């Protein structure tokens, strides 16, 4: 089966694995009407179940620390996409590594592996710890989200790109900032500022025609709001609170990155140009009109308001 790789990019603890979990979970619960099925392989399925249980059972008040050592090893999550009850036609391979690999203390090999993941990926999802970006005028942003290092990574990897690529900026833990229109536009403004150099690189003459950049704020839990930052020996603890003791797990828009991904792939399929990287996509949906219609229906649900924005490369998302 043809396989496409996607990298979950971001330092330790920003929420890569939770984002992936929520994305799959909401795909499953939102997809009801469409004739699509996303099936995790054995290993991925077990891990997703455990991570989902964690997200569903967060305590009333808890903290996250951007500086904690990862407890996870490199994992890849494999999903097969197809019609319900039919043989799948495309394998999506999400590479989810421990964010620790970005740190100076990690080995050169580990750092190189991240570059290699991005090199071979059709799409990259950058998980952004939103409170670190927004609170205290972004005081903790550099330390926790490492935007400069991420920019450097793309400077190394996105050279002489042969085919288009999709970059999704996914602010997570952003419940608090999506409450009003004013705070939502502030979130977008802070992303443009906090990732100014990265976005400038993508907007450069050579990359602009090839790189699609979208912002998709994802509420992986929904019922938890950022409350405050406490400092412990100069290190930040981000304290979160449930909106009420019995507030239920209530994720919102977590499947949106997948909708954008499929929209991009459908567009490449329709394009019919020869891209070495995506050659197999030209035939992907030719034999199965129903699958094509299902992918199209799902892709049409990409949001473009309430904090969602296509920053560049709109033509690569045009499927009409």
Ligand X SMILES: Nc1nc2c(ncn2[C@@H]2O[C@H](COP(=O)(O)OP(=O)(O)OP(=O)(O)O)[C@@H](O)[C@H]2O)c(=O)[nH]1
Binding site for ligand X (CB under 6 A): 10, 12-18, 64, 70, 72, 98-99, 127, 172-173, 220-221, 224, 240
Q: Does 95 bind Mg ion (CB under 5 A)?
A: no
Toward Mg ion, which CB reaches closer, 90 or 127? 127
> Using CB under 5 A, which of 41, 63, 72, 297 touches Mg ion?
72
Q: Does 21 bind Mg ion (CB under 5 A)?
A: no
The partner in contact with residue 254, picked from ligand X, Mg ion, none with C-beta cut-offs of 5 to 8 angstroms by kind, is none
How many other C-beta atoms can be found within 10 angstroms of the C-beta atom of residue 126? Answer: 24
The encoded tokens of residue 311 equal: 């920053």
Q: Does 17 bind Mg ion (CB under 5 A)?
A: yes
The partner in contact with residue 10, picked from Mg ion, ligand X, none with C-beta cut-offs of 5 to 8 angstroms by kind, is ligand X
How many other C-beta atoms can be found within 10 angstroms of the C-beta atom of residue 289? Answer: 9
Task: State the minimum distance, in angstroms, from the CB of residue 102 to Mg ion.
Answer: 12
The encoded tokens of residue 257 equal: 């990155």
User: CA 283, CA 244: separation in Å to the nearest integer?
Assistant: 50
DSSP for 274-309? --TTTTTHHHHTTT-HHHHHHHHHHHTT---STT-E
Q: Does 288 bind Mg ion (CB under 5 A)?
A: no
Toward ligand X, which CB reaches closer, 82 or 98? 98
Q: Tell me the CA distances in angstroms from 265 to 86, 88, 313, one per residue in order.
A: 20, 16, 14
The partner in contact with residue 95, picked from ligand X, Mg ion, none with C-beta cut-offs of 5 to 8 angstroms by kind, is none
Task: State the minimum distance, in angstroms, from the CB of residue 58 to ligand X.
Answer: 6
Toward Mg ion, which CB reaches closer, 123 or 207? 123
Task: State the minimum distance, in angstroms, from the CB of residue 48 to ligand X.
Answer: 12
How many other C-beta atoms can be found within 10 angstroms of the C-beta atom of residue 98? Answer: 21
Phi, psi of 167, deg, nearest 5: -120, 120
The partner in contact with residue 281, picked from Mg ion, ligand X, none with C-beta cut-offs of 5 to 8 angstroms by kind, is none
The encoded tokens of residue 114 equal: 């991240």
Q: Tell me the CA distances in angstroms from 254 to 57, 123, 148, 206, 234, one per residue in order.
A: 18, 16, 26, 31, 33
Task: State the minimum distance, in angstroms, from the CB of residue 61 to ligand X.
Answer: 10
Phi, psi of 79, deg, nearest 5: -125, 135
Task: State the minimum distance, in angstroms, from the CB of residue 52 to Mg ion.
Answer: 14
Q: Does 80 bind Mg ion (CB under 5 A)?
A: no
Residues that bind Mg ion (CB under 5 A): 16-17, 72
């Amino acid at each position: 089966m043809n396989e496409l790789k996607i990298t979950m990019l971001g330092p330790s603890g920003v929420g890569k694995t939770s984002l992936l979990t929520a994305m799959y979970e909401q795909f499953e619960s939102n997809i009801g009407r469409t004739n699509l099925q996303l099936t995790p392989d054995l290993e991925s399925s077990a891990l997703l179940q455990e991570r989902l249980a964690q997200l569903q059972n967060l305590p009333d008040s808890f903290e996250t620390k951007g500086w904690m050592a990862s407890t996870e090893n490199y994992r890849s999550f494999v999903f097969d996409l197809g019609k319900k009850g039919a043989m799948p036609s495309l394998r999506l391979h999400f590479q989810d590594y421990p964010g620790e690999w970005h740190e100076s203390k990690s080995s050169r090999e580990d750092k190189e592996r991240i570059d290699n993941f991005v090199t071979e990926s059709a799409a990259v999802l950058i998980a952004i710890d939103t409170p670190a970006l927004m609170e205290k005028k972004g005081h903790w942003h550099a330390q926790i989200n490492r935007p400069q290092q991420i920019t450097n990574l793309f400077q190394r990897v996105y050279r002489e790109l042969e085919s288009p690529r999709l970059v999704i900026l996914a602010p997570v833990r952003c419940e608090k900032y999506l409450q009003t229109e004013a705070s939502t536009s502030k979130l977008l403004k802070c992303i443009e500022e906090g990732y100014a150099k990265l976005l400038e690189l993508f907007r450069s003459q050579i990359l602009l025609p090839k790189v699609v950049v979208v912002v998709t704020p994802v509420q992986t839990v929904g019922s938890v709001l950022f409350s405050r930052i406490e400092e412990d020996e100069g290190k930040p603890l981000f304290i979160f609170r449930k909106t009420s003791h019995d507030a239920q797990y209530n994720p919102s828009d977590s499947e949106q990155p997948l909708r954008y991904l499929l929209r991009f792939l459908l567009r490449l399929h329709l394009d019919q140009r020869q891209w070495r990287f995506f050659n197999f996509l030209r035939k992907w949906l030719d034999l199965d009109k129903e699958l094509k219609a299902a992918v199209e229906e799902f892709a049409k649900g990409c949001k473009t308001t309430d904090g969602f924005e296509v920053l560049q490369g709109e033509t690569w998302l045009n499927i009409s």
